[in-house]
Amino acid sequence: MPKRSKPYLIRADYRPGLDIDFDAYPFSIPAVRELGSIDFHPNVTFFVGENGAGKSTVLEALALALGFGSEGGTRNVQLKSVESVSPLHDAMRLARGVPKPKDGYFLRAESFFNLATYMDQTGYLDGYGGRSLHRQSHGEAFMSVLMHKMRGDGIYLLDEPEAALSPNRQLAALRAIHQLVEDASQFVIATHSPILLSYPHAKIIQFDGAGLTEVAFEDTEHYVVTKDFLNHHARRLDQLLASDDAGHEDEFAG
């Protein structure tokens, strides 16, 4: 069983008494406006939802509130190449448990190139297997972070880590995540990957127009659509490629 029976990151909500303009971005995003309180699983919590639903925005806010830089890395890396950080983190209140983790990392797919360049410039590559991240494939570099940089007893935030990973690499990442969980680590992961979402006993939080809802793995769109397509791929392709109806996306929901 995992060593961490209680989460370090326990809960996130809005600071009481704040005057928030819910017509301004990112508070205007429905899931952010209806944030309420997020209670985290001691091992793995997933954020799921359509692009633009707010899951990466909330994950970024959590990372900043925990002391990570906006473009990822450890807390020692405060890289900011663009001024695009939302103010959400200033409005958030985090409840934290004890003991404090010894390790931490924010892995962000969209800014990983900038982080890799920074690591080359500083020459600090021991924690990445001793090789430049730019001299590895995108998937190899992501796996280097999971296998070498994350050392256990940590709090790890991952934003769409599957972006660089083949299905086999996603399975390897799932195993690496489990090994870190067994070593007293806690993960919060924004993802579209049904492979990663299958991690046993994880909490899955759906971001949509109604706010945040906890869902079972088998009830996620990722599972339902992927399973349906693989089981009926010939029929689904015929429907998809032959349809002239702009609203045909609904045909594949069940």
Q: Could you give the percent of the chain with pLDDT greater than 90?
A: 59
Pick 147 or 65 by higher pLDDT. Answer: 65
Q: What predicted TM-score, i.e. pTM, was given to this entire model?
A: 0.87
pLDDT at 139 (0 to 100): 73
Nearest by Cα to 189 from 150, 158, 220: 158
**pLDDT tens digits for 115-171?**
666 666 665 656 666 666 666 676 777 888 888 889 999 999 999 999 888 999 999
**Quick one: pLDDT band at residue 254, thresholds 50, 70, 90?**
very low
**What does the pLDDT average to over 170-184?**
95
